[in-house]
Structure formats: structure tokens, C-alpha cells
Chain A
Amino acid sequence: MSDKVVAELQEPTPAVGDGGPDMIQLLTPEGQRVSHPDYDKYVADLTPEDLRSFYRDLVLIRRLDAEGYALQRQGELGLWPSLLGQEAAQVGSGRALKPHDFVFPTYREHGVGFVRGMDPQSSLQLFRGVSQGGWDPQENNFHLYTIVIGAQALHATGYAMGVRMDGNVGTGDPDRDTAVICYFGDGASSQGDVNEAFVYAASFDAPVVFFCQNNQWAISEPVEKQTRIPLFQRARGFGFPGVRVDGNDILATYAVTQHCLDEARNGNGPLLIEAYTYRMGAHTTADDPTKYRVSAEVEEWKFRDPILRLKTLLAHEGMADEAFFARIDEEADQFAAELREGCVTMETMAGETMWDHVYAEDHPVMEAERAAYLAYKASFEEAN
């Protein structure tokens, strides 16, 4: 091993909580707009109206998350994986996508789904136990939630290979060139499938952007358990660019994702984005973070709240007034009421539908078992 490689490997790892000098930031935790030579251009055209709509998305998905949590606690959902603290990473990246781009989410991407136009009831129905997903991925170019950690990275890569085989990369036609974005977390970065996806994506120049939300915790395990080096630096070993962005900064996340998606669409994929953020809540409603992390850490991250910093910017720059913020809060109340109503009135499908979609083509076992089930059910009615 050459001295140079050793020296690179011994670069100091930034302390947790500090994204380090490589982290792209356009909006400080205090709500101050800071300039970046490479990324300013991606936010230059954003109007006050755009920024207000960013704010609206952030508030609504935080409310969606709060309702998901409450509905689980009230027994209406079986489980809820919270996105609290990751709103900017999800809205910033999601808003950077074009309609014809394609998203492969994890089960925590409720915010990305929301900005893609998904009905929020879709994720509620999954966690209510009404279906295992049940939506058509082609409707909003938003794939089904994948629960096996990291498995979707290969699906995203294969889809992107297909995009390239279709010739929809690097044509210069903005309506045709297509990027794929793959969400995963810091824990998933240890999975074989994610690493295989990096290899395949590089080998086939796939137009895919790997978007890793490093929220510092994989259930109870801190990110140091997954990696010795900052995650974005992993990309270099696979032969493609990696960048760390402040995932609690919606402007930077939006800008960096735009840049990487453009690169992918132009044929310069794959790329890796590490959105440096924090899971403010539990892993899911079944988790108890007080057993493994100190509250001081959570308190520290509260100062970097993604919504507060955009609100500060909007207020400070005179782009929004109290009436606007009050209006968004009202809208969130209305949104929450509709979510709850939709959730608690959701119908469970009849038992005999269990066999309906196991296969696309006719299957004798499905038909026989469904018939036997119906006959069994009917036998009770006859007995009455």
C-alpha cells in the first residue's frame, strides 16, 4: 500500500453531529443563507413562492408523521416508522426530481412519497395491515416500500440499467433523459445488496443516484458500527462520486440532488449522496431509544431542526408573514383530520382476496384454496 493511500485512510473522521468540512450547506441552522460556488446556481431560480411551498411540504409531512405515531399509539396502526428530523432530506431530494424520474424508497420515505403526489393513505394502509403496499408504482413513479434493508438498491440499479438500455440517458432532451433515485439509510450501507448495487451501477454506468439518509442510528447501533470512514467517501472506492450534504438543510439537499440527478441523466452516473441528518424519534413505534442514546444528543440536534431554519429564513427575508405560517398550521390541522378519518375508516379486504394477486396468471392452487376457504366459511352460515 502506498504512503498516499495510507495517508488518505488516516484522514480524521468528523465527529458525530458535525458534518465536517466536506458537508455542503446553503442554509445554516440559524437560518442564514450561505453561499457555495458549485451549488448556488441550483437554488438561484427558486422564488419566494417556491420556498413557501417547501415550507408547506415540510410542515405537512411532519404532521403526517405525528399522526402516524399517534394512530399507532391508539391502536389504529400496527407500527409506524417515523421520519421526524428527516423532513428536509426527503422534501429537498423529492422536489429535485422530475415526474419521469423514478424513486425506490425505503419504508420511511413518507415525505418523498408525499411530494411525488402519493396519497398519504397509501403508507397508512401498509402499517394498518390492510395491504403490503398495494399501490401502482407507475402512477407516481414511486416504487413500493421495501422492508428488507437495502434490497431496493438492486431494483433501482436494474431499473436504471433498463433506462440506459432504452436510450433515455444523455440525449440532451430534458423530457427524455431519466434518472433513478434510490433511498436507503446508514445501516443499509453495510448490506451486501447495497454494495452489489454500487458495483453493478458502476459497471453499467447506470443513471442512478444513491441517496443515503445517514440519520446516525440503525435502530440502536450508531453509524460508527457501520463504517470507519464518512459514508459518502465509500463511493470513491466503487469508482463514482460521493458528496455529503446537510440533510437538515432543504436548500442544500435540493441543490445537491438536482446536480446529481442532472449528472445521472447526462450519463455520468451513478452517484452517491450522503444526507447528513438525525433520526429525532425512535426507529419505529416498537423501539425505545432511551436505552441506547443520551438525550443531550437529541437536544443538540433540535438546534438544527430543518423546519425551523427555513422558517427563520422566510421570516427574516420577509418572504412570509405570521398569517402565512398560521395558514399552513391550519392546513396541517385539516390535513391531519383527513388522514385520521381516512385511516380509521379504511376497509379491510375480504379474506378470499388473499389469493387474488399471488400470481399474474391462473394458478390451480390459488383457485382450489380460495374455493375451499369459501366453502369452509359457508359451512358456518349453513349451520346457523
Chain B
Amino acid sequence: MAGQLEKVTLGKSITNGLRKAMEADPKVVLIGEDIGKLGGVFRITEGLQKDFGEDRVIDSPLAESGIVGTAVGMALRGYRPVCEIQFDGFVYPAFDQIVSQVAKMHARALGAVKIPMVIRIPFGGGIGSPEHHSESPEAYFAHTAGLRVVACSNPEDAHWMIQQAVACDDPVIFFEPKRRYHDRAEYDTTATTAPRGLFEANVLREGTDVTLLGYGPVVKTMLESADAAEAEGTSIEVIDLRSLSPLPIDTIVESVRKTGRLVVVQEASSFLGMASEISAQVTEQCFYELEAPVVRVAGANIPYPPSRMEEEFLPDLDRILDGVDRALAY
């Protein structure tokens, strides 16, 4: 049966995914600030409270630890809560609940309880906002055992990954590239099976000279960089990491063994970020295949700058190509 191709934004794809998850399982509940009538500050939950009621789309008091901590209690009662954290920089009041309770409850109970919850966090910069609205805190969570961490980069993935995250019996930190919420793409919205697993990387473009790896908002920039490089005769393989923890290292290693060069892109500051860990693991596994050191193209090691300066901070097409050139210089 032919599917129905539809052009949908990334934001609306998450909305649709949440709707499907709520239809599939009456135990799925959403909780967060302003997610009811308003539909959230990014309108991701728009219309859901009207359709599912105030008990399933819960406008929370303005306290993030409360959002996550009460969601733990709901999970213990048999619910599958999906928390919305309004902005990346506002997740820290909930940090203790996430790393000390959400992440460890299953192990503490030797498997007797599960915490099947999702914590949605819009992340990354590029929207011209004041402090705390443009951060990339993924490494804190990827560092914590007991959590799974994913980031979507395009509408079709957003549609599927949010449903897969809700269905997962482990807690999933779900990063959404907020500056890509309005990006559109055409895909089959009536498909009934996901194109790939939640914790798999996706090779978006095959190439032979350099592997370019990233996740979330930079994926689009990486694809544009690969186009530009191709015009200059460089063949770039582009991989969307998608899963930050567990790390789909096999896909990365396979690509690097072919290209011999790896450039990792992230908006987060470079020090001890995802790119650092990937660099270490690739060095361990591809030492003899590497033609150049792993190159990191990342945010500077400073607090996120004022928005008028953010273009200088964020990895853009030129900085990514500069990274590619540095890898090719060996």
C-alpha cells in the first residue's frame, strides 16, 4: 500500500509522534510548564490537552525538579511520563532528580522497578535568545549511567524517535534541535514501522575522503558542508549520530575505517564533550586506519555568548570545512 507523503515541520512531527504515543498507550502522560492550553513555548504539545484532557497533558507548577521528581512517582505508579523542560538551561534545577533518581532507580531496585520516562529538552543556539536559552548540556547526561540520550535532527526522525523513546522501558533524555523546529521535510506520515532503531546512527550521505559526524542542529549544516566540499572535489560521508548514549560506535568505526579521517561537530564546548569521547573510542579502535587525528569542530570553552556574538561561537559551514581541511592536511 502506498504511503501518504506529507511535508511536515520538525516541531509538528514531534507533536504527531506524541499524539500517536498517547493514542497507543493510555498510560502515557505529558507534564511540563505551559504545555496545556498554550501548547508549550514552542507549541510542541499544541492541541493535545484539548484532545487528551488535563490529567494526561499536565500544566505543572514552575519548578523543574518538581516536573521530573513527580514524573518519577507517576512512573512508579505505572504511568509513562513525558516531561517537557522549557529550555536547555532550565534543566539544571532538575539535575539531581535526573542523575540521582531517574538514572539509578532501576539499579537500586535490582530491576524490580522501571522508570520508563522521557525528558524532552529543546537544545542548542541560533535563536537570538538571552542567557540559558541556547545551551548544549548533553554531555552531563551522556556521562550518567542509567540514562539513554538521543537527539533528533530532521522531521521524520523526530516523528519516530519520540515514539520509540516513549516506548523504551529506560529513561530517555530527548534533545530537540530548537532552531530546526520549523524545518520541513516530506515523509510517509502513515508508515507503521520506524525506518531504524532509536539507538542507531544513520549514514545520511556516503563518501570516501572524510567522515563528518554530528547530531541535532548541526546535521543540516554538515550536509550543506558536504555539498560545498563536493563542488571542490572532496567526498564526505555524513553520519547523523542520533544516539549519544549508547554510542553507536560500530557505525562510526566502519565509516572511519573506510575514509581514514573523522571530523566531529557539536555546538557544545569542546572540553569533555561528545566529540572527546568519540575521538578517544575511534582512536582506540581505528588506530592503524586513521590518516589524521580526529578533528573536533565545537563551541568555544566559554559560557554561551550573548546572541549578537553567537554566530562566532556556533560551528557553521566555513568552520566545518576548515575542520575537513585540517583532517585532509595530513
Determine the chain A residues whose CB is within 8 A of the CB of B105 once the complex forms.
144
Tell me if A370 is interfacial: C-beta within 8 Å of chain B: no
> Who on chain A is nearest to B93 by CB?
A192
Does A154 lie within 8 Å of B110, measured CB to CB?
no
**A and B contact pairs by CB, cutoff 8 A, 30 listed:** A133-B108, A133-B110, A134-B109, A144-B113, A148-B96, A151-B96, A154-B66, A154-B70, A155-B101, A158-B69, A158-B73, A158-B74, A158-B76, A158-B77, A159-B76, A162-B79, A165-B55, A192-B63, A192-B65, A196-B69, A200-B60, A357-B109, A357-B110, A358-B107, A358-B146, A359-B146, A361-B169, A364-B246, A365-B246, A365-B247
Does B77 lie within 8 Å of A154, measured CB to CB?
no
Tell me if A240 is interfacial: C-beta within 8 Å of chain B: no
User: Considering the chains assembled together, what is the distance between the CA atoms of A144 and B79 in angstroms?
Assistant: 18
User: Considering the chains assembled together, what is the distance between the CA atoms of A151 and B112 in angstroms?
Assistant: 20
Q: Render B83-104 as a binary contact track against A, CB cut-off 8 A, 1 for contact.
A: 0000000000100110011001
Residues of chain A at interface, number, CB under 8 A: 43
- Tell which of A138, A163, A200 touches B70, judged by Cβ atoms closer than 8 Å: A200
Does A137 lie within 8 Å of B112, measured CB to CB?
yes
Q: Render B224-250 as a binary contact track against A, CB cut-off 8 A, 1 for contact.
A: 000000000000000000000011000
A-facing residues in B280-318 (Cβ within 8 Å): none
Does A200 lie within 8 Å of B110, measured CB to CB?
no
Whether A135 contacts B109 in the complex (CB less than 8 A), given A154-B73, A156-B73, A162-B73, comes out as yes
User: Considering the chains assembled together, what is the distance between the CA atoms of A359 and B104 in angstroms?
Assistant: 9
Does B106 lie within 8 Å of A357, measured CB to CB?
yes
Whether A197 contacts B69 in the complex (CB less than 8 A), given A163-B77, A358-B146, A363-B246, comes out as yes
Determine the chain A residues whose CB is within 8 A of the CB of B112 once the complex forms.
135-138
Determine the chain B residues whose CB is within 8 A of the CB of A359 once the complex forms.
106, 146, 148, 170
Tell me if A310 is interfacial: C-beta within 8 Å of chain B: no
Tell me if A44 is interfacial: C-beta within 8 Å of chain B: no
Question: Apart from A136-B112, A154-B72, what are 15 other A-B pairs with CB-CB below 8 Å?
Answer: A134-B108, A135-B112, A151-B97, A154-B70, A157-B66, A157-B69, A157-B73, A158-B73, A159-B74, A162-B73, A165-B29, A192-B63, A204-B58, A359-B170, A360-B111
User: Considering the chains assembled together, what is the distance between the CA atoms of A133 and B111 in angstroms?
Assistant: 11
- Tell which of B70, B75, B76, B104 touches A143, judged by Cβ atoms closer than 8 Å: B76
Q: Render A149-182 as a binary contact track against B, CB cut-off 8 A, 1 for contact.
A: 0010111111111110110000000000000000
> Who on chain A is nearest to B104 by CB?
A132
Tell me if B128 is interfacial: C-beta within 8 Å of chain A: no
Determine the chain B residues whose CB is within 8 A of the CB of A148 once the complex forms.
96, 100-101
Tell me if A121 is interfacial: C-beta within 8 Å of chain B: no
Does B169 lie within 8 Å of A360, measured CB to CB?
yes
Determine the chain B residues whose CB is within 8 A of the CB of A272 once the complex forms.
none
Tell me if A356 is interfacial: C-beta within 8 Å of chain B: yes
Give B213 Cβ to nearest chain A Cβ, in Å.
18
Give A82 Cβ to nearest chain B Cβ, in Å.
22
Does A196 lie within 8 Å of B111, measured CB to CB?
no
Q: Render B45-83 as a binary contact track against A, CB cut-off 8 A, 1 for contact.
A: 000000000010010110101101111111111110100
> Who on chain B is nearest to A154 by CB?
B69
User: Considering the chains assembled together, what is the distance between the CA atoms of A356 and B66 in angstroms?
Assistant: 29
Whether A200 contacts B109 in the complex (CB less than 8 A), given A132-B104, A361-B170, comes out as no
Whether A159 contacts B96 in the complex (CB less than 8 A), given A132-B108, A360-B114, comes out as no
Determine the chain A residues whose CB is within 8 A of the CB of B109 once the complex forms.
133-137, 144, 357
Determine the chain B residues whose CB is within 8 A of the CB of A200 once the complex forms.
60-61, 63, 66, 70
Tell me if B41 is interfacial: C-beta within 8 Å of chain A: no
A-facing residues in B93-142 (Cβ within 8 Å): 93, 96-97, 100-101, 104-114, 116
> Who on chain A is nearest to B248 by CB?
A364
Tell me if A250 is interfacial: C-beta within 8 Å of chain B: no
Determine the chain B residues whose CB is within 8 A of the CB of A27 once the complex forms.
none
Does B61 lie within 8 Å of A203, measured CB to CB?
yes
Give B174 Cβ to nearest chain A Cβ, in Å.
16
Give A18 Cβ to nearest chain B Cβ, in Å.
35
Does A357 lie within 8 Å of B97, measured CB to CB?
no
Does A137 lie within 8 Å of B246, measured CB to CB?
no
Does A144 lie within 8 Å of B69, measured CB to CB?
no
Most buried by A among B69, B100, B105, B148: B69
Tell me if A199 is interfacial: C-beta within 8 Å of chain B: yes
Tell me if B168 is interfacial: C-beta within 8 Å of chain A: yes
Most buried by A among B55, B73, B113, B148: B73
Whether A155 contacts B72 in the complex (CB less than 8 A), given A132-B108, A165-B79, A360-B114, comes out as yes
